[in-house]
Structure 1
Amino acid sequence: MAQLSDDCFAFGGPLMSVEDAVAIIAARVTAVQELETVDLKNADGRVLAAAIAAPQPLPPFTNSAVDGYAVRSSDLSGDREQAFTVGGRIQAGAAAQAPVKAGEAIRIFTGAPMPEGADTVFMQEDVRLDEAGRVVLPPGLKAGANVRPAGEDIAAGALALQAGQRLRPQHIALAAAFGLTQIEVRRRIRVGVCSTGNEVVSPGRPRAAAQLFDSNRFMLMAMLRRLGCEVGDLGILADDRAALASALKNGAGGHDLILTSGGVSTGEEDHVKAAVESVGRLVLWRMAIKPGRPVAMGIIDGTPLIGLPGNPVASFVTFVHVVRPTVLALAGALQETPAPLPVRAAFAYRKKTGRREYVRVSLRKAADGALEAEKFPREGAGLLSSLVETDGLVELGEDITQVEPGARVGFLGYASLMS
């Protein structure tokens, strides 16, 4: 299990900024140490355990970038057409049989190795054949044109993939290009997820008139799986302090992180804080963020616990900004902070200074071709439709107090926040 000391999150005082929260996580969470070797075809989404240096240059040999004719640049006049005898033919995957001779051109195809002595390729659409079967080459082509030198992409021994890289299809393609069939990765982190409260019931169960079907747990489990986690479903924990404490302690023993939803505010029936304090240590982490200020950070037997708000939009936003960087740190992955896309606001908005706010918006293309962000028409951190019917969030920093139509704002698409 990934372990934390009991005082590593002991921070109180005023509301904490998003940046400070992420910095504390990155500095104090220890990554899982267990490693696994996986086949390359199963490596997508895994975290690379150690850096990979290029075992060979890419490309491994000098080759033609086009279909055409390979020649020696020293044979070219530079200011007039020239006719060359076609001295051979090299297909991709075949080796050159002999060096190119003076005044000779070799018919060559994309990816085929350059014959010894040749350093320039004329594209087939730029040449013509005369009545004698010679290839007529136009003037003006620079030496080295249309040739891919060995190591042009990556030199042998150069850093190709960094330790901590979350492997995506392009990284797997690079490893395959080196001839690798297996790759060493960190094991997946194990996250236990539960919802709390007597007011929620699992889908498929009978629902009382005053109850809601639990949506947060399923949203959070889906988001965790997108981050490559092994997810344990701890179900719904009732509003009973002793039972809640026992369930969280049991869950901590088999997971690297416990994630709860609901019960982290200061109401009489919000029992997560007291339950965790009875079996571990908890510091209520009040973040300067809207939606989602009540976020709890705790430790039970060395296992971190994050308690998210019960409202689904607040739970979503705080997952993105607190849970996601925690998961990456536990997994030993490089931190990936999505960069906001500058767009034009098509709405007016006012906010308090000193806190970061995230506004749910849809993107549209204006008449002048610019991208505009249109605010969801209703407020409320409990509106699941506001996540379904929008494209992402506009991020408004702590110093911003109002937005007017036409202002430039930063847009974060949901795809970038959940990958």
Structure 2
Amino acid sequence: MSEHPHPHPAAGSESARTAAPLATPPQRAPLRALDDALAELLATVTPLARSERVSTFEADGRVLAADLVSPLHVPPQDNSAMDGYAVRAADVQHPGAVLRVSQRIAAGDAGAPLEAGTAARIFTGAPVPPGADAVVPQEDTEAVSGDVHGVRFLQLPKAGQFVRRAGEDVSRGAVVLARGSRLGPAELGLAASIGASHLDVVARPRVALFSTGDELVMPGEVAPEALPPGAIYNSNRYVLRALLQRLGCEVSDLGIVPDRLDATVAALKTAADHHDLILTSGGVSVGEEDHIKPAVRQLGALDLWQIAIKPGKPFAHGHVRRDAGAMDERDAHCHFIGLPGNPVSSFITFVLLVRPFLLALQGAAAALPAALPLPAHFDWPRPDKRREFLRVRRNAAGGLDLFANQSSGVLTSAVWGDGVVDNPPAHAIARGEMVRFIPFSELLA
């Protein structure tokens, strides 16, 4: 929204000469470092107390609500790591020794105790029979024909070789996944390996999403050729909704709220009663048509930050009071976060601040992803005084190319790029210099 200054009397007029001097505008607060802002934002979070039990098949991306303790050893007993022969190592005294094959053990079978001076044909994953202390791979043996089925050993075995010990992966009573773990394919497989068909996970955060601005139009409502002057399609709604869903949130899309204080207050009150977070884009600047600030303050509290990053300087957070009895919750407030309206600014502030906030709300680790050192295949001679997040793309030579237009309104840069360079304040980049690269794959995980 644009600012609408009050008109002043023309210079040299009588009214101008007799008018009281203009008040000195209040000084703006200094820019806040991103790390400090993130720490302060996370300090407002109390992890959700709600949890639910879901099928392990349906738990991908969820956050574990309680430690997962193993009721058994994995593997449950000693088993073979190879197809071959289980033996007592002491029974094979020299290369070329021959032992009678006394039994055959496949995966899922339970072998008998191994007779002294014999070998057991065994397959990968099959239990090692009592008495055996080594497995000889079949490629180190050769069959012996004759009346007695035997096997010749071409190599001397060592006790313990190719035997996977009971509990080698997981021991009974061990915490295999800690509370707060984000569950992915490997974690789900580990849970299944100890027999967990269902898991207790943190309830999905409930997020109310809406946009402000009479200039916003939804795709499909107006054809491009009929778009009125000054109108723009609402891209932020699509970006933010997808980001929220990737983080496992239940999203209530409240659409576009009209640029009126009463409409904004009504939307906030409705959203606060049934959600954990209200997320908006746009409407937190100084224009007369920006009603988010007074509406949130009327219903709760609001802090406005100027964060020392580019893009994405303006950021708002606070809370909105819930009506008594509206929810069965200990917390009487709903969190509020307001993002800037420019699409790249909205995207960047979400992945840097909102994503960690939502992870913390679910009790998961909320640190920013670690950066990778990669060479810049570009020059950046005129850096900003703020910490910059430059949209870049890895190239075939192992370096990073820079998108030509780094404007906060150019969403193409986030599509073309596959990550950002985290550039310190006022730091010029010379071609070939090692820079800090954060992949979008980490920021969007």
TM-score, normalised relative to structure 1: 0.92
Match of 1:288 among 308, 318, 343: 308
Find the residue that maps to 1:24 and give its secondary structure.
Answer: helix
Find the residue that maps to 1:94 and give its secondary structure.
Answer: coil
Shift of 1:384: 1.4
1:100 corresponds to: 114
Query: In structure 2, how many angstroms separate the alpha carbons of the residues matched to 1:140 and 1:394?
Result: 56
Residues 190-234 of structure 1, C-alpha deviations (whole Å, 9 max, x = no match): 001111111111112124232111010111010000000000001
Residues 2-44 of structure 1, C-alpha deviations (whole Å, 9 max, x = no match): xxxxxxxxxx942222222222233321111112111222212
Find the residue that maps to 1:125 and give its secondary structure.
Answer: helix
Shift of 1:68: 0.7
Shift of 1:336: 4.8
Find the residue that maps to 1:232 and give its secondary structure.
Answer: strand
The answer on whether the counterparts of 1:25 and 1:325 sit within 8 Å (CA) in structure 2 is: no
Find the residue that maps to 1:163 and give its secondary structure.
Answer: coil
2:167 corresponds to: 151
Query: In structure 2, how many angstroms separate the alpha carbons of the residues matched to 1:92 and 1:345?
Result: 53
1:267 corresponds to: 287
Of 57-66 and 204-213, more deviation after overlay is shown by: 204-213
Residues 101-139 of structure 1, C-alpha deviations (whole Å, 9 max, x = no match): 222111000110000011111111221113334211123
Residues 307-352 of structure 1, C-alpha deviations (whole Å, 9 max, x = no match): 1011111101000111111111222223253111221110111455
Of 110-119 and 388-397, more deviation after overlay is shown by: 388-397
Find the residue that maps to 1:349 and give its secondary structure.
Answer: coil
2:432 corresponds to: 406
Q: Looking at CA atoms only, which structure, 1 or 2, has the larger radius of gyration?
A: 2
Whichever residue aligns with residue 141 of structure 2, its letter is: V
Structure 2 residue 268 is the aligned partner of structure 1 residue 248: yes
Whichever residue aligns with residue 364 of structure 1, its letter is: N
Find the residue that maps to 1:121 and give its secondary structure.
Answer: strand
TM-score, normalised relative to structure 2: 0.86
Match of 2:37 among 21, 27, 38: 21
Structure 2 residue 86 is the aligned partner of structure 1 residue 86: no
Query: In structure 2, how many angstroms separate the alpha carbons of the residues matched to 1:337 and 1:71?
Result: 52
Residues 364-407 of structure 1, C-alpha deviations (whole Å, 9 max, x = no match): 121xxxx2110001121111111111111111134x51111111
Structural mapping, 1:129-148, within 5 Å: 129-132=143-146, 133-148=149-164
Residues 141-197 of structure 1, C-alpha deviations (whole Å, 9 max, x = no match): 432111110000111111200101121121111111111221111211100111111
Find the residue that maps to 2:395 and give its secondary structure.
Answer: strand
Query: In structure 2, how many angstroms separate the alpha carbons of the residues matched to 1:25 and 1:157?
Result: 37
Match of 2:220 among 189, 204, 224: 204
Of 38-47 and 159-168, more deviation after overlay is shown by: 38-47
Query: In structure 2, how many angstroms separate the alpha carbons of the residues matched to 1:122 and 1:356?
Result: 60
The answer on whether the counterparts of 2:110 and 2:127 sit within 8 Å (CA) in structure 1 is: yes
Structure 2 residue 408 is the aligned partner of structure 1 residue 381: yes
Query: In structure 2, how many angstroms separate the alpha carbons of the residues matched to 1:153 and 1:397?
Result: 43
Whichever residue aligns with residue 421 of structure 2, its letter is: V
The answer on whether the counterparts of 1:194 and 1:235 sit within 8 Å (CA) in structure 2 is: yes
Which residues of structure 2 form unaligned runs of 5+? 1-27, 322-332
Distance 1:237 1:395, change over 3 A: same
By relative contact order (CA 8 Å, sep 6+), the higher-ranking structure is 1
Query: Identity across aligned pairs (percent)?
Result: 47
Of 190-199 and 37-46, more deviation after overlay is shown by: 37-46
1:341 corresponds to: 372
Whichever residue aligns with residue 334 of structure 1, its letter is: A
1:7 corresponds to: none
Whichever residue aligns with residue 374 of structure 1, its letter is: D
Query: In structure 1, how many angstroms separate the alpha carbons of the residues matched to 2:416 and 2:383?
Result: 26
Whichever residue aligns with residue 338 of structure 2, its letter is: G
Which residues of structure 1 form unaligned runs of 5+? 1-11
The answer on whether the counterparts of 1:25 and 1:329 sit within 8 Å (CA) in structure 2 is: no
Find the residue that maps to 1:326 and give its secondary structure.
Answer: helix
Find the residue that maps to 2:43 and give its secondary structure.
Answer: helix
Find the residue that maps to 2:399 and give its secondary structure.
Answer: strand
